[in-house]
């Protein structure tokens, strides 16, 4: 299993499992969440389903929530339900969340610097565990070490809910090409926590940004789209880790009017050789750097990634490197399903298509 942390402390991407959308080729969300979609603020009961179709019903809003990592915590903070979070695993590093959320996040009790220990999770007093990790079905549990069974969650009085946009890679059907699974998660979580009005506003904001970009560049045929490589610098440079077609980044790149050079890879992440990247010879390279907690530290990390590409014998001859075609947008907002995916679509499009995207 391959762990990818935020500055060593926050949201991780579990190879083959995390940050992949659940949608099919058109990215549409599962219809089984229809009841959650229809629920208004404070309207109960609310029923949500996981990747296997198992349903969880809430007769009232949860009052004590534990999140598996910083991505789930951030969603709840954005929905205005952060005061109900009593603990988290993989906490966000200071300064790595947007300024308005960071102070709240730092006050959240840390139940585990990585995966929350089973005993601590079951004894937390939570009535909801929001899980962004999954290896459901034959692998069982959350796939993250000694995870509680569903029977143990039930005995402890904890409802266990997976975010589809982050925990369903193994059950994905075809490429992820839009943000509908992310938006469905926000809608469902808003219904569960009684914050549907806020969820509706968040989704509308995301859709507005993406729609503007699609209007400007969405009609560009694949042959005319610049080829694009997400360089995961923090995952290691010896052997590159690339984003495949079930990774949310594939949708972000495509919506921004570019062409993911590893969209032919069926999965979420995959390790390849530099010879594979050289064969693709991308027009643009995104410097995949995780948030260091400050603008200065981030600039330094971006510089390091760029300089590595320029000085490495295997990469300095790439078209994007020779032409200085680098995109400086952080890893988390690109590869972790969330609200900022829409911002990233806009940011990439502005860089690749100057003058077309306002």
DSSP per position, 198-238: HHHHHHHHHHHHHHHHHHHHTT--GGGSPEEEEEEGGG-SS
Q: What local confidence, expressed as pLDDT, does residue 42 receive?
A: 64
CATH number for the domain formed by residue range(s) 31-206:
3.40.50.1980
pTM for this model (two decimals): 0.85
Question: Would the CATH topology of 31-206 be identical to that of 218-352?
Answer: yes
Average pLDDT over residues 3-15: 32
pLDDT, one tens digit per residue, over 301-322 is 999 999 999 999 999 999 999 9
Is the pLDDT reported for residue 347 higher than 50?
yes
Integer angstrom CA distances of residue 210 from 17, 204, 338, 345? 25, 10, 14, 7
pLDDT, one tens digit per residue, over 38-94 is 444 568 999 998 777 889 999 999 999 999 999 899 999 999 999 999 999 999 988
Q: Which CATH number fits domain 218-352: 3.30.70.20, 3.40.640.10, 3.40.50.1980, 2.40.30.170?
A: 3.40.50.1980
- Sorted by where each begins, the domain ranges of the chain are 31-206, 218-352
C-alpha span between 157 and 4 (Å, rounded): 31
């Amino acid at each position: 299993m391959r762990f990818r942390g935020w500055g060593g402390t926050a949201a991780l991407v579990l190879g083959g499992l995390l940050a992949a959308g659940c949608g099919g080729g058109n990215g549409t969300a599962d219809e089984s969440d229809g009841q959650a979609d229809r629920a208004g603020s404070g309207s109960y009961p609310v029923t949500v389903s996981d990747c296997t179709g198992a349903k969880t019903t809430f007769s009232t809003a949860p009052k004590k929530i534990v999140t598996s990592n910083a991505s789930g915590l951030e969603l709840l903070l954005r929905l205005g339900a952060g005061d109900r979070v009593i603990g988290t695993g993989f906490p966000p590093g200071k300064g790595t969340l947007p300024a308005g959320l960071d102070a709240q996040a730092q006050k959240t009790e840390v139940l585990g610097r990585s995966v929350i220990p089973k005993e601590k999770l079951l004894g937390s007093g939570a009535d909801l565990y929001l899980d962004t990790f999954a290896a459901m079905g034959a692998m069982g549990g959350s796939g993250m070490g000694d995870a509680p069974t569903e029977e143990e969650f039930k005995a402890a009085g904890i409802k266990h809910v997976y975010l589809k946009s982050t925990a369903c890679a193994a059950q994905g059907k075809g490429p992820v090409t839009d943000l509908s699974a992310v938006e469905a998660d926000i809608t469902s979580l808003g219904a569960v926590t009684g914050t549907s009005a806020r969820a509706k506003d968040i989704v509308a904001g995301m859709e507005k940004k993406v729609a503007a970009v699609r209007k400007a560049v969405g009609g560009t045929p694949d042959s005319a789209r610049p080829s694009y490589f997400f360089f995961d610098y923090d995952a290691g440079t010896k052997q590159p880790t690339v984003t495949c077609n079930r990774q949310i980044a594939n949708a972000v790149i495509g919506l921004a009017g570019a062409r993911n050079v590893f969209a032919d890879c069926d999965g979420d992440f995959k390790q390849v050789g530099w010879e594979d990247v050289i064969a693709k010879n991308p027009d643009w390279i995104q410097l995949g750097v995780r948030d260091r907690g400050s603008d200065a530290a981030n600039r330094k990390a971006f510089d390091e990634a760029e300089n590595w590409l320029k000085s490495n014998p295997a990469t300095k001859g790439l078209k994007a490197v020779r032409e200085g075609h680098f995109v400086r947008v952080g890893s988390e907002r690109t590869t972790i399903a969330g609200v900022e995916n829409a911002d990233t679509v806009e940011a990439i499009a502005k860089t690749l298509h100057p003058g077309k995207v306002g």
